[in-house]
Amino acid sequence: MSEKNKGILKDILSYILIILIVVGIRVFIFDPVRVDGPSMNNTLVNGEIIILNKFEYRKKPIERYDIVVVRVTDPSTNHEKKIIKRIIGLPNEVVTIKDNKVYVDGKELDNSFASTKTEDFDLSQIGLVKIPGDSYFVLGDNREVSLDSRYSEVGTIKKEQILGKASIVIWPINKIKIIKK
């Protein structure tokens, strides 16, 4: 093989390697997700693009107040879709909402990120006494319009439905920020 052909082959292999690395990162570690709707206002706003960290929960446990992307079945179309919500209840806990305050196992939680009032709720409304051992209870920050664990269409979320943790807002450019609890 001539030196010229070796150089061309080396260039082609370099490009293939770069493509494989980029695709690997996108598939296994990070993924852009568009915020669709107002359910996470004011923390995340419709149209923003976030980076989903798919690797986060392979090395760390899911924690209360994490903002996660969840795969659910849309009841109106029976198709899977991604929703963005905040983890409120952990496995085997009891979640109640009374007088716009959220309680887990009787203790009041920080509710400062909620942008609207929350109607009273207890797990019996979705047929539960406590969150199942492999599941989580999620809420949107804009509780008046959020389709979340309070509704049987969503219910509690199994760990395998959680695609990853929302980590960074990357669009629009003037709103780039790290997403904090």
Catalytic position from the list 4, 59, 85, 98: 85
- φ, ψ for residue 177 (rounded to 5)? -165, 155
Q: Answer yes or no: are the C-beta atoms of 75 and 153 closer than 8 Å.
A: yes
CATH number at residue 66: 2.10.109.10
Give the pLDDT confidence of 46-99 residue by residue, as tens digits.
889 888 888 778 888 999 999 999 988 876 777 888 889 999 999 999 999 999
Mean pLDDT by 10 residues, the chain (181 residues): 73 73 60 82 87 82 94 79 93 95 93 87 91 94 90 90 87 80 68
Domain holding 116, by residue range, is 3-178
Catalytic position from the list 39, 135, 146, 149: 39
CA–CA separation, 168 vs 171, rounded Å? 9
> H helices then E strands: how many in the chain?
2, 12
Q: How many domains does one find in the chain?
A: 1
Active site residue 85: yes
Active site residue 146: no
pTM, full prediction: 0.81
